[in-house]
Amino acid sequence: MSSSKKTFIVKPAAGSEGCGIFLIKKFKDIPSFAFGAPHVAQEYVDEPLLLNGKKFDLRIYVMVTNLQGPVTAFVANEGLVRLCTEDYKKPASDNLHNLLGHLTNYSLNKLSEKYVHTEDMQDEALGSK
């Protein structure tokens, strides 16, 4: 399987906490368990921004109070950064299963022995959430 082909991330339509998510290069590689419920497939961004070699996402919270006329919105002073616990490697047939390097879901990464709780951080160390 060529690593230059597109990668797709497939998620259960009614899923949560990273359960049932998988990566594929070819639609024929969708596992049989996925055919029992609706799933959503989307192209996976395989060249993401990295933080210390790890994939991350940002959660910025906005409250919109008015949609009619001028939009009124407030942005929270604090947000959230979630990081993978494994270093990112571009998707290839030998690492599609390594979800801890591809998914930032807290519920998955908190189970890793490499997970760093914010309270446990020292000096300039980077936590996982």
How many structural domains are present in the chain? 1
> Within a domain: residue 44?
yes
> Within a domain: residue 63?
yes
Pick the residue with more confidence: 124 or 118?
Answer: 118
What is the percent of the chain with per-residue pLDDT over 70, rounded to a whole number? 88
Burial call 32-60: b when 16+ CB within 10 Å, e when fewer: eebeeeebeeeebebebeeeeebbbeeee
Tokens of 25: 């290069």
Q: What does the alpha-carbon distance between residue 104 and residue 85 come to, in Å, rounded to a whole number?
A: 8
CA distances 62 to 17, 58, 67, 73, Å, are 22, 13, 13, 7
Residue 19: which domain range? 8-120
> Within a domain: residue 125?
no
Strand partners, 24: 8
Q: How do residues 75-110 score in pLDDT, each as one tens digit?
A: 999 998 899 999 999 999 899 999 999 999 888 888
pTM of the model: 0.76
Q: How do residues 47-58 score in pLDDT, each as one tens digit?
A: 999 999 999 999
> Within a domain: residue 77?
yes
